[in-house]
Amino acid sequence: MRLALFEPDIPGNTGAVLRLGACLGIGIDLIEPAGFVLDDKRLRRAGMDYLDAAELVRHPNWTAFERQARESGRRLVLLTTSAEPSYAGFNFRTSDILLLGRESAGVPPEVHQSADARIRIPMAGNARSLNVAVAAAMVIGEALRQTNLLPADGE
């Protein structure tokens, strides 16, 4: 299972997702261009000393990422506020790539349409969205739980 960030805007969020990946033993795909230089000090501050442990694969653009994902037979699962099904009732697979959009704009229509599945996080009241790193943590936690891929302590 992997997490993919589509053209991330905020270095602190990207650092937090890289740290999440390192701590849970999952790979992170970063689809460029990013809205910041990847050696940004805010990225390093959020990722702390976990960045070197993160399995990061950088893709120059959406086309290159999608080609690699399709060739590897992986299902693309987009987290989006415009989906109907909740992530809590979704059946995850061990080979899924959970795709998160840009903090400022989500993903463009062609990326949205390319996803094999679209899921959302239910929210109370008139809340619109969660921080991308928080959303990633919630959904990847459930996906790893469902697929028995949560790491054992110390692995």
Q: What is the DSSP code (8-state) at residue 6? A: E
The one-character DSSP state at 88 is G
Among all chains, which residue has been given the structure tokens 């299972």? 1
Amino acid sitting at position 49: D
At residue 18, the 3 state secondary structure works out as helix
* pLDDT at 128 (0 to 100): 85
Least confident stretch, 50-54, 120-124, 127-131, 144-148 = 50-54
Is residue 110 classed as helix, strand or coil in its secondary structure?
helix
| DSSP per position, 52-75 | GGS-EEEESSHHHHHHHHHHTTPP
Domain 2-146 has CATH 3.40.50.2000: no
> What confidence tens digit (pLDDT) does each residue in 92-122 have?
999 999 999 999 899 999 999 999 999 999 9
* Residue 38 in this model has a pLDDT that exceeds 90: no
pLDDT mean across residues, the chain: 92
- Contacts for 5 with CB less than 8 Å, ≥ 6 apart: 14, 17, 28, 29, 30, 31, 100, 132
The pair of structure tokens assigned to 64 is 């290159």
Kindly list the domain boundaries of the chain, sorted by start residue.
2-146
What's the confidence (pLDDT) of residue 77?
Answer: 98
pTM confidence score: 0.93
62-89 per-position pLDDT tens digit: 999 999 999 999 999 999 999 999 999 9
Phi/psi of residue 146, nearest 5 degrees: -60, -35
